[in-house]
Amino acid sequence: MKYDIFTIVFFLLLSVFGFSQDSLRTVLAEPGDGILSLLRKQGIDPYEVFDEFVSLNHHDLRDSVHLIAGRAYVMPHMKVDTVAIVDSLQIQAKEVKEIERESYAIFGEKYKTVIAKSERLKGTVYYLVSGHGGPDPGAMGMYAGKAIAEDEYAYDITLRLAKELMAHGAKVYIIIQDENDGIRDERVLEIDRDEVAYPDKKIPLNQLARLKQRVAIINDLYKDNKGKYQRLIVTHVDSRSENQNIDVFFYHHKHSKNGERLAESIHKTFGAKYKKYQPNRTYSGTFEDRTSLYLVKKTHPAMAYIEIGNIRNKKDQVRIVDPDNRQALAKWISEGVLLDYEEE
């Protein structure tokens, strides 16, 4: 029986993709495992399959992202970059196109590679600002007997968000940068003072001078990108009484309809995630105008200003010190951004 070249390639592809779909591999979680570490142990890039893992295992996760030791978890399928064609078949077929990827040192050696997921945000520009930095660590708390600082956790979440947006084709400007701190998976992030403002400006000690510097950088970039779809996202961690447990809040300029829609879209996404993954917990975060905030008032792009939680509250600390939670926060924000852009 004769087979043409396309029939042979079809069966080869089927053998690679199709036969492996019938059963999914499971792995037992060990004490101390998180989603990121469990996937990494299996040789899987956790940032590429995080959502799929949560969707496959949400009934066996505590608070939507925490593993339970001793429980079996379903592993997502590995993505295949290329399909090898057996030489002996002497097929003159084109190799399946390799997945597009680029490297960015700012994410750190371990996570520098950004793999393209889609072009859903192609042509868009996002400015991401993590709160404080440089001489100002921001709000402070204590965790496991060690000091933790707002700027380190806001920066880590911002890097994760930047990577998500870039994977969907967005042009991203990370306004506060630290060349020594890429994406980090530690619970206690070391505090330093070496952050700079884009591209390499020293951050002033004076608070008003710092805010003015950021406004000037963003507004200058906004002019440079005139005519493009542009949005700004600012990320902070709040500081309140130790006993005050808060949810994630979103602020916008009272006269900016686009900013209001962006904040509402991310807020709506968080509400949907809580309903799906934490049905026994009501999401109490809100979105509202907060034009009194300097960055909200003075920057030109439509923007959302996000407060992640209370760094001094033990329950809220879990949200920021757990790297799985930081990744989930970044993913949820990015999904809200996609919702906002695609519903415009």
Long-range contacts, 241-244 (Cβ 8 Å, 24+): 241/310, 241/312, 241/313, 242/312, 242/313, 242/314, 243/313, 244/310, 244/313
pLDDT at 81: 44
Q: Are residues 165 and 220 in the same domain?
A: yes
Q: CB 4: neighbour CB atoms within 10 A? A: 8
pLDDT score for 246 = 67
* CA gap 163, 45 in Å, rounded: 13
Residue span of the structural domain in which 42 resides:
5-74
Q: What amino acid occupies position 336?
A: G
Give the C-alpha separation, 214 to 334, whole Å: 22
Considering the domain architecture, whether residues 44 and 132 belong to the same structural domain is answered as: no
Per-residue pLDDT at 261 exceeds 80? yes
What CATH number has the domain bearing residue 335? 3.40.630.40
Dihedral angle at the C-alpha atoms of 208, 209, 214, 215, nearest 10 degrees?
A: 70
Count: domains in the chain: 2
Q: What percent of the chain stands above pLDDT 70?
A: 84
Same domain flag for 163 and 206: yes
Q: Is the same domain home to 171 and 292?
A: yes
Tens digits of per-residue pLDDT, 235-252?
999 876 555 656 789 999
In a domain, 131, yes or no: yes
Last residue in a domain, options 74, 93, 126: 74
Is residue 267 in a domain? yes
**Do the domain assignments include residue 189?**
yes
Task: Indicate if 12 and 106 belong to the same structural domain.
Answer: no
- Percent of the chain's residues with pLDDT above 90: 61
Output 33 or 196, whichever has higher pLDDT.
196
Which position has the higher pLDDT, 286 or 303? 303
Question: Are 157 and 9 in a shared domain?
Answer: no
Residue 42: pLDDT above 60? Answer: yes
Give yes or no: residues 65 and 200 share one domain.
no
Looking at the structure, tell me whether residues 156 and 215 fall in a common domain: yes
Same-domain status, 183 and 137: yes
Give the Cα separation of 239 and 335 in Å (integer): 26
Confidence of residue 204 (pLDDT cuts 50, 70, 90): very high
Q: Confirm whether 89 is domain-assigned.
A: no
Residue 9 has pLDDT above 50, yes or no: no
Per-residue pLDDT band at 64 (split at 50, 70, 90): low
Taking only the tens place, the pLDDT of each residue in 107-142 is: 999 999 998 999 999 999 999 999 999 999 999 999
**Is position 84 within any domain?**
no
Does residue 228 form part of some domain?
yes
Same domain for 281 and 182: yes
Could you please report the per-residue DSSP string of 76-102?
Answer: PPPPPS--PPPGGGT---PPPPPPPEE
**Helical axes 323-342 vs 257-277, angle rounded to 10°:** 130
Q: Which of 33-42, 82-91, 119-128, 149-158 has the lowest mean pLDDT?
A: 82-91
**Mean pLDDT in the chain?**
86
Same domain, 66 and 113: no
